[in-house]
Each structure stands twice: as C-alpha cells, then as structure tokens.
C-alpha cells in the first residue's frame, strides 16, 4: 500500500454526477479518504451532465462517453472541484490535456446482469420477448445467441431503467451487476451472465478518480495513491488499450475483459456487428506488469480476424441510419420528436 500524504489539504471537493449510483460512488470515495485523512473536510458537489440530460437518443448517436465527464472536468479546471469520481466505463479512452486518472479502485463484479420480473434467465424468454439495452455490445451478444428475441433501446440512470422494466415496457433488461450491487439492489439480479457468453465492456465494474493538473503544490496524485488497486488498474489499462486501438468509441460493439492473478493477466476481447452476425474474439495471457502490450497483442489477433472490416461496417451502418433519419425529416416524414 502506498504511503499517506503527510500534508493533506484542509478541504477537498469531489465532483459527481447526480444519479444515485454516481452519488453512492462519490460517497464511497469520501468515506475512504476520510478514514485516511480524518483532518480533511471533504464535500461532494453533484452536477448534471449532457449524458444525463439527453435521454431520447442512444449515446452512440449523440457523441458517446465524454458526455458523462465533461461538466465535471470543467468544474475541476475552474477550481470548483478537486477530483471527480467516475464509473470507469464512462470515461473516454483519451483524457483532455491537463487531466489524469489518479486512482482506479478495486473492481466490483464486472459481469452483466439479467433483470426481469417474470423470467429467470435469457434462456427462458419466449420468442419475440422484448429485451432492453442500449449497449451495442450487449445487443450484438444477445442477437448472436438469441436471434428470436427483440432488442429495444433503454436509456436513463439505473432507477429510470428499472422503472421502465417494472412498468412493463420490457420482458427483461440487461444491466451491469456492479451498479445494482452498489445501490443495494442485488435481489434484482435474476442471473449473472457468464463472461464467456457476455464479455464485459472495458472498465465495467471499476471506479476511477480523475484529477486536473494544478500548480498550488498540492499533490493529489500522492494523496489518492493509497486508493489505487494495482491488479484492477493493470486489468483496466489493458482493456482500455484494446478499446483505444479500435477508436475508443461506444459506437461499435466492443468488449474487453482482463483478470489478474499472481502477476499474470488473462485478457479477452471481442468486436462484432450490432446484429451479432460477424464477430471476432481473441485472448492472450502474459505479465500483468505490461498491460498495454497485452492490449496491443489481443487487438492484433482481432485484426487477423478482420476486426477492422467488422467495425467499419458498423460505422457505415450507423452513418447510414443517421442519413436515413435526416432524409425522412426533410421529406416531411414522421419526426422523431
């Protein structure tokens, strides 16, 4: 474990999104920092991001991951906050100049969870049953294994999504197990999807603390170092490297999941088309101390299976559906609003 910072500041402000999960995560970081630095007064400021406000379109269409972190970065740049707590899955692969991840916390359950009031698992769903998810990764994995099911978009924070399930809009929904566990809702999980069937997204289940460069002499990197969990940090570095190689967006179905034991990493990754028809998957094992190299190796194996061709067909499909939507609007067709 890293050493404690000897001269911590007297106050710290944590920026967080306002969803219940985000607030739980910020509160968790505050509690852990308070144990380490009891003399430091730590506040949480909640803020709404574009990702929270735009709920009528899928994220892949409105610009993706950065939408959940931008406002928090602005607060740090303006000195209104010292650190931001994120779900790592929502953090872009490349941070803007002047920002850094100071710590990655020990990972919660990284698996996807099957949530339903009427069915115990994906296998039990009847043909034509509607499954809610807006993740292209989850969509393509379900379409590949259960072509008889209907996938319908599902956005909003966890409580919103569960509300839509309970209202009867879906027979089942897929959520990250980590979020449900953190919110004290583990009983909503009817089944956990095996990573072999539903390979998790890069960073799923891990929390990260982001900081901005500063020149007031306060070493936040050192202050936060004791919260960093080395094995998780190595795993997510490899996963995020895979994502970065393929453009780092959430506009393509991409999964990357690493486990680390005794200094050895096992990294699996997958890219697919949204309909699950074309899929490339690969795995590598090696020293956890060199996570980026493992990420590059697995990406190279995916490329041997035409990952680039698979992904470019996704991107042209996305562009085509946007063009279709625009021309429908121009032609006076039914407006999406």
Binding site for ligand PBG (CB under 6 A): 87, 89-90, 175-176, 178-179, 204-205
144-149-153-156 Cα dihedral, nearest 10 degrees: -100
> Distance (Å, rounded) from C-alpha 253 to C-alpha 79?
36
Name which of 105 and 211 has its Cβ closer to ligand PBG: 105
Which residue, 161 or 278, has its beta carbon nearer to ligand PBG? Answer: 161
First to last CA, the chain: 53
Query: Is 324 designated active site?
Result: no
Q: How far apart are CA 29 and CA 111, in angstroms?
A: 22
Rounded to the nearest whole angstrom, what is the least distance from the CB of residue 179 to ligand PBG in the complex? 4
CB of 108 to ligand PBG, least distance (A): 6
Q: Which residues, including other chains, have CB under 8 Å from residue 155's CB and lie 6 or more apart?
A: 55, 56, 57, 58, 59, 134, 161
Judged by beta carbon, residue 115 or residue 299, the one nearer ligand PBG is 115
| Strands 150-152, 11-17: pairing kind | unpaired
Considering 82, 90, 109, 112, which one is annotated as catalytic?
90
Element (H, E) at 85: strand 83-87
Query: CB 135: neighbour CB atoms within 10 A?
Result: 25
Closest approach of Cβ 190 to ligand PBG, in Å?
15
CB closer to ligand PBG out of 82 and 90:
90
Q: How far is the CB of 204 from ligand PBG (least distance, A)?
A: 4
CA distance 251 to 38: 43
Helix axes 158-166, 20-36, angle to 10 degrees: 140
Of 87 and 116, which CB lies nearer to ligand PBG in the complex structure?
Answer: 87
Q: Which residue is it, tokens 């891990």?
A: 206
Minimum Å distance from CB 175 to ligand PBG? 4
φ and ψ of 103, to 5 deg: -160, 145
Active-site amino acid positions: 90
């Amino acid at each position: 474990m890293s050493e404690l910072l000897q001269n911590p500041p007297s106050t710290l402000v944590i920026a967080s999104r306002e969803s219940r999960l985000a607030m739980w995560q910020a509160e968790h970081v505050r509690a852990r920092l308070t144990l380490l630095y009891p003399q430091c007064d730590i506040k949480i400021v909640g803020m709404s991001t574009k990702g929270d406000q735009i709920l009528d379109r899928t994220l892949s269409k409105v610009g993706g991951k950065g939408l959940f972190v931008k406002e928090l970065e602005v607060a740090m740049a303006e000195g209104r906050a010292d650190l931001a707590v994120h779900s790592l899955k929502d953090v872009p692969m490349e941070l803007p100049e002047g920002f850094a991840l100071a710590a990655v916390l020990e990972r919660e359950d990284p698996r996807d969870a099957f949530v339903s009031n009427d069915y115990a698992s994906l296998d039990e769903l009847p043909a034509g049953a509607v499954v809610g998810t807006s993740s292209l990764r989850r969509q393509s994995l379900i379409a590949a294994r259960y072509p008889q099911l209907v996938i319908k978009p599902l956005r909003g924070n966890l409580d919103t999504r569960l509300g839509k399930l309970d209202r009867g809009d879906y027979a089942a929904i897929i959520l990250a197990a980590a979020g449900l566990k953190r919110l004290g809702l583990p009983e909503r999980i009817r089944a956990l999807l095996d990573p072999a069937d539903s390979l998790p997204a890069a960073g799923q289940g891990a929390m990260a603390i982001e900081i901005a460069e500063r020149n007031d002499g306060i070493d936040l990197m050192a202050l936060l170092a004791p919260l960093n969990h080395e094995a998780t940090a190595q795993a997510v570095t490899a996963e995020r490297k895979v994502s970065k190689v393929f453009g780092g967006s959430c506009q393509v179905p991409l999964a990357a999941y690493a486990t680390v034991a005794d200094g050895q990493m096992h990294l699996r990754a997958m890219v697919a088309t949204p309909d699950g028809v074309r899929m490339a998957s690969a795995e590598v094992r090696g020293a956890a101390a060199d996570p980026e190299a493992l990420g590059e190796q697995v990406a190279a194996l995916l490329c041997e299976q035409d990952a680039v061709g698979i992904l470019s067909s996704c991107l042209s499909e996305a562009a085509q559906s946007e063009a279709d939507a625009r021309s429908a609007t121009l032609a006076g067709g039914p407006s999406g609003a």
